[in-house]
């Protein structure tokens, strides 16, 4: 990865963003009920810019009707504003760059757990057993890779506005779009059924494929 050159501005890709299936764009002023939070947190602690935030359309309707407390499930698009694909990574093509990113993510420098081909639902089940109020986040590390994205995941305990502790599964798809790394993050309330985990992962892969094919 590299930082933008001091003598010039890195070219900005024109990104085509579409709402995932069953989701609508979240626009706080249009929700209509003050205080409806999404609990959105950037995929990285710093150096990202939120491009779009989508929430389930049914939940958005419920928020406008005043029947839900908050909107904790979402899909977010962010672009990295600090690091950029290096010239070497870009020369590999989008698939090659993503493959290199996945390899780097499992290196000693990054410190993420290595992916050994384990079943995603089993990885989530193991992580959930470690999750507690004392350990409110369990990082699964890299959980898969395809020609469109490198996928990482985590389980987190998040508190609702009323103080209720809830478990959420996050899946992040890291992709290359022109001269940018773009992250598509998916957050859903945790379900302990293997089918729910696999369904979420499949949805993340589907949406990442759609984004990647439109923005290469």
Running along the chain, 216 residues long, what does each successive block of 10 average in pLDDT?
Answer: 44 80 79 62 69 92 86 90 60 68 75 79 95 95 91 93 93 85 92 94 94 85
pTM, 2 dp = 0.83
**pLDDT given for residue 5 in this prediction:** 42
Helix (H), strand (E), coil (C) string for the chain = CECCCCCCCCCCCCCCCCCCCCEEECCHHHHCCCCCCCCCCCCCCCCEEEEEEEEEHHHHHHHHHCCCCCCCCEEEEEEECCCECCHHHHHCHHHHHHHHHHHHHCCCCCCCCCCCCCCHHHHHHHHHHHCCCCCCEEEEEEEEECCCCEEEEEEEEEECCCCCEEEEEEEEEEEEECCEEEEEEEEEECCCCHHHHHHHHHHHHHHHHHHHHHCC
> Would you state the pLDDT for residue 90?
54
The whole-number pLDDT of residue 58 equals 94
């Amino acid at each position: 990865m590299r930082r933008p050159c001091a003598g010039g501005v890195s070219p900005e890709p024109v990104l085509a963003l579409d709402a995932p299936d069953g989701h609508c764009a979240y626009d706080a002023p249009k929700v209509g009920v003050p205080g409806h939070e999404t609990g959105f947190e950037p995929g990285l602690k710093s150096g990202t810019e939120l491009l779009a935030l989508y929430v389930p359309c049914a939940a958005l309707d419920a928020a406008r009707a005043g029947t839900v407390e908050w909107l904790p499930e979402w899909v977010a698009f962010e672009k990295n504003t600090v690091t950029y694909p290096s010239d070497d990574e870009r020369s590999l093509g989008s698939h090659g760059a993503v493959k290199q990113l996945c390899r780097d993510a499992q290196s000693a420098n990054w410190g993420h757990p290595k992916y050994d081909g384990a079943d995603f639902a089993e990885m989530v089940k193991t992580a959930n057993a470690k999750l507690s109020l004392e350990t409110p986040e369990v990082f699964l590390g890299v959980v898969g890779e395809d020609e469109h994205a490198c996928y990482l995941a985590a389980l987190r305990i998040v508190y609702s506005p009323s103080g209720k502790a809830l478990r959420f599964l996050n899946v992040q798809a890291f992709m290359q779009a022109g001269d940018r790394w773009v992250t598509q993050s998916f957050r859903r309330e945790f379900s302990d059924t293997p089918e729910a985990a696999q369904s979420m992962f499949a949805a993340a892969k589907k949406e990442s494929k759609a984004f990647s094919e439109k923005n290469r």
